[in-house]
Amino acid sequence: MIFRNRPLVRLGAAALLASGAFTIFGAPAHAAGTETDLSLDVVGTKVADGAAGKLAYAKVTNKGENTPSELALKIDVSKVDFDQFAVFPDADCDVDNDTKPTVFTCHATSEGLPGPGETTDLPLLVLKAEQKLEQAVTIPLTVTLISKDDTTADNNTKTVNVDFSKESGPDLAVLADDVKNAVTVKNGKIQLAGDLHAGDTAQLIYTVWNQGDVTTAGFKVSVKLPTGVTFTETEDECEYAADKASLVCTYPNLPFIPLTQEPKNEDETPGGAFFHLLSVSKDVKAGALTGGTVEVTPLLPAPGLKAQSTEIKNAPDNMTPVEAPDVDGSDNTDGYAVVVAAKGGTGGGGGGSDEGGLPVTGAKAGLIGGVGVAVLAAGGAMFLVARRRRVVLVTPGDEKPTA
């Protein structure tokens, strides 16, 4: 792919959560018992004025009762001027023309096929050759879902505008993992314990990062749990509903620098991964518990204080950062499912290895990782940069770099 004046764009580690789900493979034949309702959405296509680019997402959610045997996404980029801009999937996809692409076709791996209630995310790199534009530019983008197993055609195509705007500000994005494993806490570490069953403890993990052009002072997060699930423990920064099925946490001194901004030191980060421990009711039925959401809102310092890339210190006790308008609100909310397995599976809250466990340090704050990913606009190199004294949640050692 030819893209003049390719900028080095710093993108969030959340790309790794999805980039392995789509690759090239021979489309399988339709199998009986795989019919289901797949729906498509595209979010995160508005770029702040001072940002060199960002990650958008094509999201496929399974609203039916079966797992499809095949899934592909076709991304129509025929309106993109690749001399000035670039929009392409961060995955191993077919392309009709390497020099001036018009259509990318991405096939899901078997691991990327969403089960009932689950969502598969395909990251899309959205870039511009010039850091600042003289005027806003809007480019139409069409994504189409293709699967022989899909039973409903009216939610399979999404046309959105890729908006290279003249607006400045924070631009938070969030990705929440579907919850599919039981966990235990052993020797101060959270460990996987097989499939999630009724009565087990689980872990909701979500990643938040700033794709705008202004550093935040912190952020506020609202989490809603599916029916049949409650929060296991309380955290000082959070307010809980009486039934412990929803919360609002405020982190006023957790700044995230813009993703495309070069960090000045190893403590600066564009985002981090967070978790909450959950309790699944003993009387829920096996299947996908849907309706869970995570929503984030950026916070900026109170009037009179400047936004900083380090923690705001010596602030008065009565100073509370104010909620800030988000440049692109379409990627501020993400849904997830809690997938409960039938009894007799491999889970059940026992066992687990000490290897790969996540320390429960900072559990009250919920922060378990602050990470960044550097991606060349051509899509060649990807690596993690971990914040000092933080636990890296996602490690790309076994990941194949994607373009």
What string of DSSP letters covers 167-202? --S--EEEEE--B-EEEEEETTEEEEEEE--TT-EE
* Helix (H) or strand (E) segment spanning residue 16: helix 15-19
Q: Quick one: tokens of 383?
A: 């690596």
Residues across the chain: 403
Q: Where are the domains of the chain?
A: 15-167, 168-369
On the question of a common fold for 15-167 and 168-369, the answer reads: yes
CA angle 394, 395, 399 (to 5 degrees): 110
In sequence order, the 6+-apart residues with CB closer than 8 A to the CB of 99 are 1, 2, 82
Supply 346's token pair: 């491999």
Q: Please, what is the Cα angle at 318 between 312 and 323, to 5 degrees?
A: 65
What per-residue confidence (pLDDT) applies to 353?
A: 40
Which residue is listed with tokens 């600042």? 132
Q: How many CB atoms lie within 10 A of CB 318?
A: 6
Q: Which of 293, 292, 286 has the alpha carbon at shortest distance from 339?
A: 286
What local confidence, expressed as pLDDT, does residue 403 receive? 33
Burial (CB count within 10 angstroms: exposed 0-12, middle 13-18, buried 19+), residue 216 = buried
* CATH entry, 168-369, from 3.30.70.370, 3.40.50.150, 2.60.40.10, 3.40.50.300: 2.60.40.10
Q: d(Cα 339, Cα 119) in Å, to the nearest integer?
A: 12
Report the C-alpha gap between 100 and 93 in whole angstroms.
15
pLDDT given for residue 201 in this prediction? 94
Instruction: Show contacts of 350-353: CB within 8 Å, 24+ apart.
Output: 350/184, 350/193, 350/194, 351/184, 351/193, 351/194, 352/183, 352/184, 352/186, 352/191, 352/192, 352/193, 353/191
**Beta-strand relationship, 157-164 and 46-47:** parallel
Q: Hey, which bits of 153-286 come out as E strands?
A: 157-164, 172-176, 181-186, 189-195, 201-210, 218-224, 229-231, 238-240, 246-251, 271-280
Q: What predicted TM-score, i.e. pTM, was given to this entire model? A: 0.81
Task: List phi, psi (to 5°) of 329.
Answer: -80, -5
- Give, in order, the Cα–Cα distances in Å from 324 to each of 113, 170, 233, 266: 36, 8, 29, 26
Tell which CATH architecture fits domain 15-167.
Sandwich (2.60)
Match 């829920």 to its residue by tokens: 284
Mean pLDDT for back-to-back runs of 10 residues, the chain (403 residues) = 32 48 63 86 95 90 93 94 86 82 90 91 86 90 94 93 95 92 85 92 90 92 96 87 94 85 78 88 95 95 50 48 88 95 60 40 30 27 22 30 34
Q: What does the alpha-carbon distance between residue 8 and residue 263 come to, in Å, rounded to a whole number?
A: 13
